[in-house]
Structure 1
Amino acid sequence: MGKDDHVPADVEALLLDRDSQISASRDELVGREGAWTGGSEAAEGYLRRVVAALNRVPELVVEHAEFGHYGSGCASFVDVFLARRDGSTRRVDPDGYTTVAGFSVELCRLAPIACILSPDKRSHHPDGRGYHSMPWLGAVTEMPIPGWEEGGDRISHVLDRHGITLVGPRLLSRPALPHLEIDTNLGDGPRYSIFDVWFHWMD
């Protein structure tokens, strides 16, 4: 049994379904219940409430939530970067850059699923410069994240309460529907993965 076998059968079936993959590749919502049946605005508003709930986890703080599609193009997910609330993972350098260590939760806009990325760092400067890694399949990891157990376990509970299923690397690394076309800068087409279907971005 793979480590990702905790994903409910109906969710796995949705992610692997032919018609669902085709719709998701076109950025069409395919969630079959809740906010995802109410259209893009309803789903977006719901995800904002999810982010607010994540920001209430006592040990963690939402350092950044990217609802703006990285300023251009279109992202099928909201990138939520979490850090320690006590500031212990934040460093201000003499050159003015602030660097923060943390990890990301990727909330899919197309269906009630999410994935967790391995710990990484973000940096930003008062003049607007900065650096952060883009999501990619190789960064998808399982919970709990070593070193982030405190607070990290609450992330799953928040998502569960909001009807969002965490999906891990075993399922997301499976091949997508053959000949599927996905506009994404995050994948390695022409053969895409299930990750690419549900978590894609094109500048």
Structure 2
Amino acid sequence: MFTPEQVRDLVEGRPVVDDFAYGRSDEAAVRALHRTVCREVERRTGTRSRIAWDHYGSGYASFVDAWFFRDEPGWAGRKAGGDRSWQGLTVLLSRLSPYVVFLEGNRSWGERTGSADMPTFAGVDRLTTPAVAEIAPQVQAVVERHGLVRLHASDLGTPLAPDVQVPTLLSDPGSYREFDALFHWED
């Protein structure tokens, strides 16, 4: 999917397309686009969201982690200790390109605790909960309407050259794929 030069640019935090705000490195315009997309996803799917806009609070994430869920049967359940647990659709929106991927994610929280799974290549396109899989086509229509492109595991599974180091906590060194170049987080 990506040339070696594009992989290098992604790993070094540079955009890989020349159009829209990505080519100009206009972070404010990209952020505004992502916010618009997320609001429209909520409206069209009747979901709520939890969105990591701030690089998970520290470090640098090359993406926004947007998680959409409904507080209703098929989405929610009980977790030990009284915390509530939800399945939802995770949409990773690249800050460096118009690309997104879909994963199924689990989040839980209670009065004093909370947890969330982290995105990995193994989760791309694995939408096993029927309620989550049901909204994916609606979400894809929204992202496409705004000029974003959904990529799949088959697009991002190519292993990177052994000498490429990706600054990420989401994969183990030596197992990097194009997914990791596009969607990485360093703390």
User: Identical aligned pairs, as a percentage?
Assistant: 27
Does the aligned pair in 2 maintain the 1:114–1:166 contact within 8 Å? yes
Q: Please tell me the residue identity of whatever aligns with 1:87.
A: E
Match of 2:130 among 144, 147, 151: 147
Unpaired runs of 5+ residues, structure 2, are none
Match of 2:107 among 122, 137, 143: 122
- Aligned equivalents of 1:137 and 1:76: distance in 2? 15
Cα offset, 1:48, TM superposition: 1.4
Cα offset, 1:111, TM superposition: 0.3
Query: C-alpha deviations, 1:140-198, integer Å up to 9, x for none?
Result: 116x7661343321111001111111111112111124422211011222342000100
Cα offset, 1:51, TM superposition: 1.2
* Cα RMSD after superposing both structures: 2.1
Secondary structure, counterpart of 2:44 in structure 1: coil
Match of 2:144 among 137, 160, 169: 160
- Aligned equivalents of 1:93 and 1:145: distance in 2? 19
1:54 aligns with 2:41: yes
Match of 1:101 in 2: 87
Cα offset, 1:139, TM superposition: 0.6
Match of 1:65 in 2: 51
Cα offset, 1:107, TM superposition: 0.7
- Aligned equivalents of 1:94 and 1:113: distance in 2? 36
Query: C-alpha deviations, 1:23-46, integer Å up to 9, x for none?
Result: 110111222211213322221222
Query: C-alpha deviations, 1:53-97, integer Å up to 9, x for none?
Result: 111123x4132111011111111111111113x622234668442
- How many residue pairs end up in the alignment? 184
Secondary structure, counterpart of 2:37 in structure 1: helix
Q: Please tell me the residue identity of whatever aligns with 2:130.
A: G
Unpaired runs of 5+ residues, structure 1, are 1-11
Q: TM-score of the superposition, structure 1-length normalised?
A: 0.81
1:179 aligns with 2:166: no
- Aligned equivalents of 2:166 and 2:136: distance in 1? 32
Does the aligned pair in 2 maintain the 1:62–1:80 contact within 8 Å? no
- Aligned equivalents of 1:20 and 1:176: distance in 2? 12
- Aligned equivalents of 1:31 and 1:62: distance in 2? 31
1:134 aligns with 2:118: yes
